[in-house]
Chain A
Amino acid sequence: MSKTAAIPFSAGALWAEKGWALLRRRPFFFVFAALAVLGLRWLFDFAPVDGASAVVIAVSYLTDALVVATLWTALDTPGGTGLWGGWRRLTGRRWRVALSGLWGLPSAALGYVMLALSTTLAQPVSMALGTRFAGWALLAWIFLSGAVCCLLLFGALFAAIDTARGETRLWTAGMRGMRAMVLGWRPLLALWTAFVCGAALVALVSATVLGHLGFDVIDGADRDLLEYWINWPALFAAVLALLCMIGPAARQLFATAEQRSLVDGQSESTFGQMAARRLGVALMALATVFALAGMFAIDMSLDLALLGSAGLATTGWALNRSAPAWGNLDSSLWERWNWVAAAALWAAVVAGAA
């Protein structure tokens, strides 16, 4: 196997085995950690559907970073310690750890864009290739959007772990986290697939249970309560599995990344440069798709589609141009992030036109 290739799918099974062993050794520890994450997710349901919801989501990236860093620190302590012990050992690094959660924002942004575009993009596909094909294409797109979100989310969690390990610079922790994610994309994708299949199966069972519990058995507020809570056990199982496996996964991926740095000179800087360049190209490709969608999709005006396409292309071009700055530790903030200004400008123009 090539030394530069991503690690194989089978690593996921190894992480699962190690995670299972950890869970058996310290069940309450993981259950409490999973309940803490679920508690934070529960807060989402109290946020109204507007800007406040976006703030709650953004904050959740920070809190998740703290939970995962606490868990890592507790597990990494010689002899092991509880969650409280892990939290105390993070003293002095908590703010930096929380900030590392900001690396989850690309996951939020990309997920939002990909989901928002889903039906719009599926429409021209249905016209060109038929509804059946479009149905499958849309399903694949949703799966892919979720996978991209999930992988980027793992990158943010790895960045939090790296900060908990002692990295002080936000940019380096983020690059290291993203690099670990790219190295482990195969097993991480396998985990995402397993999660989706499991969630689908549980959703089918939940629907069957709801569909067979007669109104004479449960009705009114009790039934509403059951409908609300019925999917939480599946989420609990998913979060529990994630927390059990994140430690073994991070350990292997960081070790592999460090080994690669020694062998072929790859570093966070070169990774950053490569990622910025490829994302820039991806945005330009998306601009083409958007323009085509505008020509064929009947619920979008052509002007708006072309404007959006031009915005995506300009942003992609700016990101591509900023790639050298992402590979240089001494670059200024403006040199790295000026492409965001291009995106914001176009977003304002599109919003004005709409």
Chain B
Amino acid sequence: MARRRWLWPVAAAVVCALSILAAFGPLERNRRSDDDGHALFADGWRIRLADDAVTEKMAAREYATHLREYADAGILDNDLYLTEVVGSVATPLIAAARELYPQTRDWPWEWHLADTGEVNAWCLPGGRIMVLSGLLDDSVLGDDRDRLATILAHEVAHAVLHHSRESVGHAWAAQGLAWTVAKSLKIGAMRESRLTSALKTALLDPRTRARETEADTLGLELMARAGFSPAKAVETWERMAERQAPAARTPTAQRALAFLGDHPSDSERLERLRRLYPQAQPLADSSQKWDWMTHALDPEQSEALSRAANAFGLDRLTLAEDRKLVAAFAAAEHLSTARASSEIEQAMWETALDPGGALQLGLSAMVHVIGGWDRLNRVETAWSKLRHAKPLLEDPEQIKRLALSEEDRAVTQTTIRRLAAYLAAPRTQRRLWRDAAEELGKTMPKGRQAILDRLEEAP
């Protein structure tokens, strides 16, 4: 029998390789350990070949590249109404994620909307969220916050579970293996890419689909903890599934697509979510009040907001200036123009301040941009001490006369600009009109239809 001396260097190399993997392929568990008993998702141990810092840096670069590209094209956060919709959903989701996964508290969380028209959203490592405007089109999710929360919570779940870290490491490994095999067997670049893609499909895609399932489950939990309706998750994914061509919706096609695609089939996803969402409902019911928009304001906040709205001049917001719409409504309901204006204004104030209403979003943005309740109170107090004060939106120059620190003054100026642009945005006006029309429709259906028809005709 041969003495097998060749085995020693081979064994030594294998031991070295395994030691490196054991030392640097960390096995991690991230979720807060003191769970409240409502967890839908148990974070398991997993091997990650890439370090957090490396993927974080890669994500930061990728995000910066996108931001530059979108900003240069003038499509970054340019739709102020939809930007506030995104912010009003992202903010409570971020709070829920930070609460549940403490290591994400140091992340540089950020969110933006890009008006590319594409239907997509993502959250890169480090909490860098991007929503592409096609997702918020009326034919997809519209401006429904619960629907958007479903998608964003799924993406945020990917980020907090470090799925990018996992997939980057695994993809490098598959690529390395494919490269070595291709070079050894003298496979050219074209076949090397085929081999890489086949290896990724065989080795990684089943894992990718498992990650998608994890993101669905944790996403449902996050959105519930953030106060959004988990029942809407099923409806949202149904809407997303309906966007596929009819041929791709058959069970056979679904199974085929599930193998070649990186997401589970729609039928699997919907079945799982239908099973899970009742468990998430108690979480939504008892969710913490990270976002006053999804819950009632406390009396102190309500008072502060009322005074601030007065200072900024939000209480003077009116829809009646759009004569054509008012006339259309008046004609449909056989009302005088004055009566029609009055009915419309009343309906607007009844709906605009509802949770998720257009004005609520504006107020939320105001509190968000100004940096919180304390500064809002300081600004309101300083404004109230001015003689012959006018609303800040009406006369922004007054800011120079307010007794405020330089920082407070600068932030307030930004807030005024942003708020003015938000209120003037066509989408905001459209939303206010639409909500008012729905409210009016409860008693005056013809008037409602006239407004909606007129809005439909408008560019």
Contact = CB atoms under 8 A, between A and B. Distances in A.
Interface residues of B, number: 61
A115 B51 contact: no
Contact of A135 (B3, B194, B202, B255): B202
Nearest to A153: B185
A66 B57 CA distance: 47
Nearest to A129: B255
B198 A138 contact: yes
A150 B183 CA distance: 12
Given A44-B183, A146-B181, A208 B256 contact: no
Contacts of B57: 214-215
Contacts of B2: 13-14, 17
A122 interface: yes
A207 B180 CA distance: 13
B188 interface: yes
B6 interface: yes
Given A127-B256, A238-B180, A238-B184, A142 B199 contact: yes
Contact of B180 (A16, A47, A202): A202
B54 A213 contact: yes
A130 B265 CA distance: 12
B49 A239 contact: no
Interface string A103-126: 010011001100110110011001
Contacts of A142: 195, 198-199, 202
Given A210-B172, A215-B57, A56 B24 contact: no
Task: Name B's interface SS.
Answer: helix
Interface stretch (A73-81, A193-201, A301-309, A318-326): A193-201
A19 B173 CA distance: 29
Contacts of A195: 184
Interface stretch (B14-22, B28-36, B280-288, B432-440): B14-22
A235 interface: yes
Given A20-B6, A41-B183, A214-B54, A203 B259 contact: no
Contact of B189 (A49, A123, A136, A213): A49
A67 to B, nearest CB: 12
B143 to A, nearest CB: 35
A207 B260 contact: no
B258 A131 contact: yes
A153 B181 CA distance: 13
Which residue, B187, B188, B195, B252, has most C-beta atoms of chain A within 10 A?
B188
Interface residues of A, number: 73
B179 A231 contact: yes
A123 B256 contact: yes
A115 B176 contact: no
B185 A107 contact: yes
Nearest to B254: A127
Interface stretch (B152-160, B203-211, B335-343, B378-386): B203-211
A206 to B, nearest CB: 5
A119 B201 contact: yes
A149 interface: yes
Interface in A56-98: 56-57, 60-61, 64
B275 interface: no
Given A53-B189, A131-B209, A116 B194 contact: yes
Interface in B317-371: none
Contacts of A214: 51, 53-54, 57
Contacts of A61: 186
Interface string B136-158: 00000000000000000000000
B213 to A, nearest CB: 12
A283 interface: no
B441 interface: no
A211 B54 contact: yes
Interface in B74-96: none
A211 B17 CA distance: 15
B174 interface: yes
Interface in A5-48: 13-14, 16-17, 19-20, 41, 44-45, 47
Contacts of B25: 204, 208
B180 A235 contact: yes
B173 to A, nearest CB: 4
Contacts of A144: none
Contacts of A212: 24, 50-51, 54
A200 B190 contact: no
Interface string B412-446: 00000000000000000000000000000000000
Interface in A200-238: 200-215, 230-231, 234-235, 238
B177 interface: yes
A155 to B, nearest CB: 13
Contact of B253 (A56, A149, A196, A298): A298
Nearest to A125: B259
A3 interface: no
Contacts of A115: 187, 191, 194-195, 198
A298 B206 contact: no
A61 B186 CA distance: 8
Interface string A135-163: 11011001000100110010000000000
A234 B206 contact: no
A131 B255 contact: yes
Nearest to B257: A298
B209 to A, nearest CB: 7
B391 interface: no
Contacts of B259: 122-123, 126-127, 131, 134-135
Nearest to B54: A211
21 contacts: A41-B186, A45-B189, A49-B188, A118-B194, A131-B205, A135-B201, A149-B185, A149-B187, A199-B180, A199-B184, A201-B14, A204-B21, A204-B176, A206-B173, A207-B173, A211-B168, A215-B54, A230-B176, A231-B176, A298-B252, A298-B256
Interface of B: 2-6, 13-14, 17-18, 20-21, 24-25, 48-51, 53-55, 57, 165, 168-170, 172-177, 179-181, 183-191, 194-195, 197-199, 201-203, 205-206, 209, 252-253, 255-256, 258-260
Given A131-B255, A215-B53, 18 more contacts: A17-B2, A49-B190, A57-B187, A57-B188, A127-B252, A127-B259, A134-B259, A135-B202, A203-B172, A203-B174, A203-B180, A207-B169, A208-B21, A208-B50, A208-B169, A210-B54, A211-B50, A298-B253
